């Protein structure tokens, strides 16, 4: 009975790793759609977001069922409670990828990103893919050390976001109002994507150590 229970706990974590893989694919495809004005890719990301939402509901139900039926304690309880939060963070990451794809679709056949911001958003996309990959591996390997790297990766995203705002607001900025709005929204979506990855990392550390990282470099749970 207990062996089956622990197998069920492991299956929950494996399912979260699968969700992280889906989120990584979503932001990668959304980024390509954004930077190349690829309508087909944008539509696919928007459609596929429903799968992450479905898994979100499935996993919440499964975790609550385990809480109700198995009365987990200590590390088992940490795992289940953390899984409920992680599944939310991953679902939100899928939503953000879909938001990026929707802006690409809205501006098609034009490019949503003004030419002078293309390099910045290309770097944001690379960081987003890196940070969710690190979060996924730390979750898969139960690697608290790897999870701690997420804060440093997130700091690079925050720097790019700040630089974008400085460029938009600079005197003589050669960007339309529409372009400025798109840059502001897209920058926010990428920034929040990274924030959710960091939140996943906090939960990985909590599962392993029983302690939640605190301080200004870590977002609140």
State pLDDT tens for residues 44-102. Answer: 999 999 999 999 999 999 999 888 877 777 778 888 999 999 999 999 999 999 999 99
Mean pLDDT of all residues in 2-19? 82
Q: How confident is the model at residue 210 (pLDDT cuts 50, 70, 90)?
A: confident
With left for phi above 0 and alpha for psi between -120 and 50, is residue 108 left, alpha or beta? beta
Asked whether the predicted pLDDT for residue 3 surpasses 70, the reply is no
What phi, psi does 59 have (nearest 5°)?
Answer: -75, -35
CATH superfamily name and code, 2-209: Phosphate transport system protein phou homolog 2; domain 2 (1.20.58.220)
- Please answer whether residues 124 and 188 qualify as being in contact, where contact means their C-beta atoms are separated by less than 8 angstroms: no
CB 154 within 8 A of CB 198: yes
Q: What is the pTM of this model?
A: 0.92
Question: What is the predicted pLDDT for the residue at 73?
Answer: 73
pLDDT mean across residues, the chain = 91
CB 94 within 8 A of CB 49: yes
pLDDT at 174: 83
pLDDT tier for residue 154 given thresholds of 50, 70 and 90: very high
Residue 152 has pLDDT above 90, yes or no: yes
DSSP 171-205: TT----HHHHHHHHHHHHHHHHHHHHHHHHHHHHH
In this predicted model, which residue has the larger pLDDT, 165 or 27?
Answer: 27
Q: Which residues of 163-192 are buried (b: 16+ CB within 10 A; e: fewer)?
A: ebeebbeeeeeebeeebbebbeebbebbbb
Residue 146 has pLDDT above 70, yes or no: yes
Measured between alpha carbons, how far is 29 from 62 in angstroms, rounded to an integer? 29
- Specify the higher pLDDT residue, 96 or 214: 96
Q: What is the pLDDT of residues 177-190, one digit of tens each?
A: 899 999 999 999 99
State yes or no: pLDDT of 30 exceeds 90.
yes
pLDDT above 60 for 134: yes
Average confidence (pLDDT) over 100-122: 96
Q: Where are the alpha helices (DSSP H) in the chain?
A: 2-36, 39-70, 74-107, 118-141, 144-148, 150-169, 177-209
């Amino acid at each position: 009975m207990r062996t089956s229970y622990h197998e069920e706990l492991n299956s929950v974590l494996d399912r979260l790793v699968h969700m992280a893989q889906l989120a990584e694919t979503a932001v990668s495809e959304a980024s390509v759609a954004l930077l190349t004005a690829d309508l087909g890719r944008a539509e696919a990301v928007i459609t596929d977001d429903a799968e992450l939402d479905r898994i979100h509901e499935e996993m919440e139900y499964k975790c609550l069922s385990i809480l109700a039926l198995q009365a987990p304690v200590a590390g088992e309880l940490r795992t289940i409670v953390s899984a409920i939060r992680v599944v939310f963070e991953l679902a939100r990451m899928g939503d953000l990828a879909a938001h990026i794809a929707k802006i690409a679709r809205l501006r098609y056949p034009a490019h949503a990103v003004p030419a002078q911001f293309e390099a910045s958003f290309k770097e944001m996309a690379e960081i987003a893919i890196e940070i969710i990959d690190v979060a996924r591996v730390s979750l898969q390997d139960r690697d608290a050390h790897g999870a701690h790297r997420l804060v440093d990766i997130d700091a690079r995203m925050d720097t790019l976001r700040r630089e974008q705002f400085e460029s938009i607001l600079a005197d003589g900025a050669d960007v339309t109002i529409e372009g400025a709005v798109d840059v502001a929204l897209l920058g926010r979506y990428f920034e929040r994507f990274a924030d959710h990855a960091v939140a996943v990392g906090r939960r990985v550390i909590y599962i392993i150590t029983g302690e939640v990282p605190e301080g200004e470099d870590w977002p609140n749970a």
